[in-house]
């Protein structure tokens, strides 16, 4: 069962913790107030018969398996065909964005929380209200609550809480920030876009619609939590890329410093997940 824990080193090893206190989407589950997932500790290897994003199969037939599929967010993701996770209650809140990769909605457990207009790059309330059209029933009311100064850098001046960076940062794959702003690349053209992949924000976004900002909403990455670079001369694969898409100066795919590479998907230790060729953490 997922327990929301502080991580005891820079990356990847959970060292205990406690359940969060609530789900902003209002979905109950267990005794914690948010949906829980009954699952054994992830072994670091794909498991036949497991969730779609860790079952060793190309469930959606796009030629990419499990963590090498840009629509997979982690080993408990049971929807390889879309950016949604298939986890009940996960990332349902269109306004309060928290850690996208922890398997639940709500910021009570990880210390991450910011208004969706921060993610979408609104510089003022008017821009926020425009961004919210189609996302919420009353964009004016929700937009009036927006204060750009409370956004995390680079858009605002708020500092990412240490708990947020400590819990969510190690769960976040290269190319993404903690809030699901990911540089997703079209596998055909190799054009890349910063996309808010949360199904509450871009519910109809698919890899073939990345260039349409009305469907795949563009976002501004929060560099202080996740946001590790990918593509170009970094030699780190962005979601949707493979080694043939790297800059000619690269001798092969690498991972950011301190993160283990998993070029075949089988090199990660227990409680880690191979996401696009790099081992990221899994909270158990």
Q: Which domain holds residue 168?
A: 1-112+160-284
Identify whether 126 is part of a domain: no
pLDDT for the residue 21: 31
Coil, strand or helix: which one is 55?
A: coil
Identify whether 197 is part of a domain: yes
Identify whether 186 is part of a domain: yes
pLDDT for the residue 13: 30
Identify whether 101 is part of a domain: yes
The residue count for the chain: 284
Which are the contacts of 218, defined by CB distance < 8 A and separation ≥ 6? 120, 121, 193, 194, 195, 196
Identify whether 50 is part of a domain: yes
Number of independent structural domains in the chain: 1
pLDDT for the residue 258: 84
**Tokens (6 digits) for 282:** 């899994």
Buried-state track 200-232, b at ≥16 Cβ within 10 A, e below 16? bbbeebebeebeeeeebbebbbbebbbbbebbe
Per-residue pLDDT of the chain (284 residues; tens, 9 = 90+): 333 333 333 333 333 233 233 333 333 333 333 333 445 678 999 989 999 999 999 999 999 999 999 999 889 899 999 888 777 666 678 898 888 888 765 545 677 889 999 999 999 999 999 999 999 999 999 999 999 999 998 999 999 999 899 888 888 998 999 999 999 998 788 899 999 999 889 989 988 899 999 999 999 999 889 867 899 899 999 999 988 898 999 998 999 888 999 998 889 999 999 999 999 998 65
Residue 3, judged by CB atoms within 10 A of its CB (0-12, 13-18, 19+), counts as: middle
Identify whether 272 is part of a domain: yes
Identify whether 71 is part of a domain: yes
- By the 8 A CB rule, do 200 and 93 touch? yes
Identify whether 262 is part of a domain: yes
């Amino acid at each position: 069962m997922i327990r929301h824990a502080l991580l005891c080193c820079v990356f990847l090893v959970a060292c205990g913790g406690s359940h969060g206190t609530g789900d902003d989407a209002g979905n109950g589950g267990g005794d914690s107030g948010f949906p829980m997932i009954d699952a054994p500790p992830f072994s670091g290897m794909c498991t036949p018969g497991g969730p779609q994003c860790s079952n060793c199969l190309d469930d959606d037939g796009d030629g990419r398996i499990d963590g090498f599929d840009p629509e997979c967010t982690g080993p408990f993701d049971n929807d390889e065909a879309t950016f949604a996770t298939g986890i009940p209650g996960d990332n349902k809140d269109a306004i309060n964005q928290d850690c996208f990769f922890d398997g639940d909605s709500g910021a009570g457990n990880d210390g991450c929380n910011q208004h969706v207009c921060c993610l979408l790059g609104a510089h003022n309330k008017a821009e926020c209200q425009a961004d919210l059209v189609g996302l919420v029933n009353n964009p004016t009311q929700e937009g009036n609550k927006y204060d750009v100064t409370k956004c995390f850098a680079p858009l605002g001046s708020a500092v990412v809480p240490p708990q947020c960076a400590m819990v969510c940062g190690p769960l976040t794959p290269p190319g993404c920030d903690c809030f699901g702003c990911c540089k997703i690349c079209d596998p055909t053209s190799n054009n890349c876009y910063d996309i808010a992949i949360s199904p509450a924000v871009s519910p109809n976004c698919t890899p073939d619609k990345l260039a349409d900002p009305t469907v795949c909403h563009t976002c501004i990455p929060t560099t202080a939590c996740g946001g590790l670079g990918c593509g170009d001369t970094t030699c780190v694969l962005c979601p949707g890329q493979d080694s043939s898409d790297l800059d000619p100066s690269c001798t092969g795919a690498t991972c950011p410093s301190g993160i283990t590479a998993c070029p075949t998907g089988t090199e990660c230790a227990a409680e880690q997940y191979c996401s696009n060729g790099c081992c990221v953490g899994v909270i158990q």
